Structure 1
């Protein structure tokens, strides 16, 4: 029961990420979602397993601290506006959420090898999180929100791989690194672009 609640909280945080209009809060919610990812690790693996704690450590370092910190620092250094809005408005964005709900219910029926201790509703929640990540690519404009959308999509894939025992243990650990790598590359590219623009502006003046 407690794990079903954790999956639900991950989903609700994903909805907040989708509709939030301040970048700082979006980054904060992404960090919170990263914290909640630690729960399902102990649902699948024993807390006595050393690998479980290694995986939790990776999640906390990369998803809860490093990725949000790099994004926040990049926003401050680049002097970007903290406000962002969905491309199609809040109401239409929430309407787009409804098809994902029904698709997740249908897709979950195709999973026949779910472990006994994993409830079907948990799989539905995870599939919706994946859909929310995809929807963020469509509904969001700001590049930071787009990256957070990718992180959310990757979080859903991470959970799906975890609970279905696919590609463990190496696959889930690689996924834990991948979004942080993307954020680092994007942040460096943005800062380089800002510096070039500043030099061009100064030279023009």
Structure 2
């Protein structure tokens, strides 16, 4: 029941990211989502396992501190617009989410036997988090919001590989930290582009 509440909070944070129109809040909420990801680690792995604490440390470093900080720094450094809105409007975005909700509820009913300690409602929340990540990536226009959508999708992938770790390669959960690399590369590319534009303006002045 406690872990279902965490999954629900992850899902609700994803819904807020989908409809929130202030970039700073979107970035802070994706950081909060990274913090919430530390709890399900102990649903699967023991408190005494070294692997558990490695995962928690990486979550705190990459998803709670590093990537949100880089996004905030890039947005402030390049003086980006604070407000953003869905590409198709809020009503259409809500409609797309409801369609996904109905679809994944039907899918979860058809699932077979799940790992011990994992119930269908938790799996449904994870599938919806994945869907929210994809939906955010599709309906958002601002590039930071697009990256946040990708990060949310990666968070869902992390949870899915975490709970289905039996039979999967050891350490496969670490693949879900690729979003940190994406954010760093995007921030550097954007900063380089801004410098090039500034130099071209100075040359033509």
Shared fold (TM-score, shorter chain, > 0.5): yes
Q: Under TM normalisation by the shorter chain, which class is it?
A: over 0.9
C-alpha distance in 2 between matches for 1:87 and 1:202: 34
Q: Tell me the equivalent position of 1:147.
A: 147
C-alpha distance in 1 between matches for 2:65 and 2:147: 15
C-alpha distance in 2 between matches for 1:112 and 1:121: 13
**Map of 1:39-50 to 2, 5 A cutoff?**
39-50=39-50
C-alpha distance in 2 between matches for 1:163 and 1:31: 21
Q: Tell me the equivalent position of 2:12.
A: 12
Q: Which runs of 5+ in 2 are unaligned?
A: none
Aligned length: 204
C-alpha spacing 1:88/1:99, structure 2 compared with 1 (3 Å): same
TM-align CA RMSD: 1.2
C-alpha distance in 2 between matches for 1:164 and 1:107: 17
Question: Is residue 170 from structure 1 mapped to residue 158 from structure 2 by the alignment?
Answer: no
Q: Tell me the equivalent position of 1:34.
A: 34
CA deviations over 1:166-204 (Å, ceiling 9, x no partner) = 53541101222x000000000000000000111111112
Q: Note if contact 1:10-1:33 (Cα within 8 Å) is conserved in structure 2.
A: yes
Taking structure 1 as the reference length, the TM-score comes to 0.96
C-alpha distance in 2 between matches for 1:93 and 1:28: 21
3-state SS in 1 of match to 2:134? helix
Q: Which runs of 5+ in 1 are unaligned?
A: none
Q: Tell me the equivalent position of 2:59.
A: 59
